[in-house]
Amino acid sequence: MADSITKLCLVSVFLLFGLVLQGVAGESLTKQKLNSKILQEEIVKKVNQNPDAGWKAAINDRFSNATVAEFKRLLGVKQTPKKHFLGVPSVSHDRSLKLPKEFDARTAWPQCISIGKILDQGHCGSCWAFGAVESLSDRFCIQFGMNITLSVNDLLACCGFRCGDGCDGGYPIAAWQYFSYSGVVTEECDPYFDNTGCSHPGCEPAYPTPKCLRQCVSGNQLWTESKHYSVSTYTVKSNPQDIMAEIYKNGPVEVSFTVYEDFAHYKSGVYKHITGSNIGGHAVKLIGWGTTDQGEDYWLLANQWNRSWGDDGYFMIRRGTNECGIEDEPVAGLPSTKNVFKDDLLVASV
Ligand SMILES: *[C@@H]1O[C@H](CO)[C@@H](O)[C@H](O)[C@H]1NC(C)=O
Ligand SMILES: *[C@@H]1O[C@H](CO)[C@@H](O)[C@H](O)[C@H]1NC(C)=O
Ligand SMILES: *[C@@H]1O[C@H](CO)[C@@H](O)[C@H](O)[C@H]1NC(C)=O
């Protein structure tokens, strides 16, 4: 009896702890926990047997051998220092704008192949850079009608401490600020996985932050000419209506949210947190929304954990209830014409 009361007390202490520590930063996990496998049959069972879960869990290949520590490393959103938001506008949209009940950026802009690409961040906590670079690439195509893939590596290697700590995590808003003052080269100029180091899924246990070389891998491309800029950096007001309007008008945005253990097991359906500890903060690309046949409103997102995780690399999460903080802090910017139409000008002047 006394024993079970002690246990109960312990459980409530842990629950309290969990609540206090909620938010972008993960809980402090024990060594034993960090060394255990992230994927657990018990979690799969617990989710799949819950009639109210709204989603299906599975042992996703992408993490079949990963420990909690390895998984945690991918969750690279650090608490952003307040000073980064100084002077950053918070954008809202006209309430009279009529929005569709369902929207998918891939079908809205089918000419932009980057929107439907699923990437892989490898073993580096670079999600903060992926969400930003992927959204900006899409926005270049949406605004200027050009297929382009911008470089995560440029941001990761060359933004430095302003963006955080490279593969050990960073700040989504700082990534967008970097696009304004420094620009970002193309993936072709500075690829994420090079042939000299390691390639996915190598680099166990961790992909180190790459060095900043400011040089295109191909000799006949110039770093400065490969730079693509943004003209603005902003957050979007933290409500579904403004977030939807922003995507509808300007394209995908970067969002951050808290990842719990059960999220590693996501396979399909509309995710909401059911079970497991808070592991860390993660950033992804938000590309659309809709409502299921069961009447559940959802957001549609592209992750960068390859296609062997989740629903072919994508996931849906409950919309309108700020699930796991997904609606807290969407960040974006608009692409600039600077440098972009340079080639045309050169051709014209020859
Ligand atoms: C996981 O580990 C097992 C045994 O070491 C190996 O056979 C398998 O290929 C690994 N799976 C992945 C996805 O790396
Ligand atoms: C996804 O994983 C496969 C298999 O490990 C790998 O060959 C491929 O390069 C990965 N995709 C990306 C975008 O890294
Ligand atoms: C992008 O590439 C695809 C496939 O090559 C092509 O169908 C599409 O028209 C291109 N989009 C633009 C905007 O050039």
**Tens-place pLDDT, residues 164-200:** 999 999 999 999 999 999 999 999 999 987 554 455 4
Closest Cα to atom 8 of ligand 2: 200
Question: Can 282 be counted among the known catalytic residues?
Answer: yes
The single-letter code of the amino acid at 141 is C
Residue 34: what pLDDT? 93
> Where do we find the tokens 């809709």?
290
Instruction: Count other C-beta atoms under 10 Å from residue 319's C-beta.
Output: 21
CB 147 less than 6 A from any atom of ligand 3: yes
28-349 — its CATH code? 3.90.70.10
Q: How far is the CA of 120 from the centre of ligand 2 (A)?
A: 7
Q: How far is the CA of 214 from the centre of ligand 1 (A)?
A: 36
Question: Can 303 be counted among the known catalytic residues?
Answer: yes
Residue 206: what pLDDT? 64
Residue 347: what pLDDT? 43
Residue 26: what pLDDT? 59
Residue 12: what pLDDT? 45
List residues near ligand 1 (CB under 6 A): 61, 64-65
**Is residue 199 classed as helix, strand or coil in its secondary structure?**
coil
The single-letter code of the amino acid at 190 is D
60, 250, 278, 303: the active-site residue: 303
Closest Cα to atom 2 of ligand 1: 65
Closest Cα to atom 5 of ligand 3: 113
- Closest ligand 1 atom, residue 201 Cα: 14
Residue ranges of alpha helices (H) inside the chain are 2-20, 31-35, 41-48, 68-73, 105-108, 127-144, 152-158, 172-181, 223-226, 240-250, 342-349
Residue 29: what pLDDT? 87
Question: Can 127 be counted among the known catalytic residues?
Answer: yes
Residue 228: what pLDDT? 97
Buried b (16+ CB within 10 A) or exposed e, 158-168: bbeeebbebbe
CB 146 less than 6 A from any atom of ligand 3: yes
- Closest ligand 3 atom, residue 141 Cα: 13
The single-letter code of the amino acid at 108 is A
Q: How far is the CA of 145 from the centre of ligand 3 (A)?
A: 9
Q: How far is the CA of 147 from the centre of ligand 3 (A)?
A: 6
Listed residue (144, 89, 135, 335) closest to 230, CA to CA: 335
Listed residue (109, 112, 151, 330) closest to 233, CA to CA: 330
128-156 pLDDT, tens digit per residue, is: 999 999 999 999 999 999 999 999 999 99
What are the tokens at 308?
């062997």
Closest-approaching ligand to the CA atom of 308 = 2
Mean pLDDT of successive 10-residue segments in the chain (350 residues)? 46 42 60 94 98 97 92 93 92 94 98 96 92 98 96 95 95 97 96 61 65 89 95 96 98 98 98 97 98 97 96 98 97 94 50
Percent of the chain with pLDDT over 90: 79
Residue 154: what pLDDT? 96
Closest Cα to atom 9 of ligand 1: 65
Q: Distances in Å between the alpha carbon of 268 and those of 55, 140, 312? A: 6, 30, 9
Q: How far is the CA of 103 from the centre of ligand 2 (A)?
A: 28
Residue 302: what pLDDT? 98
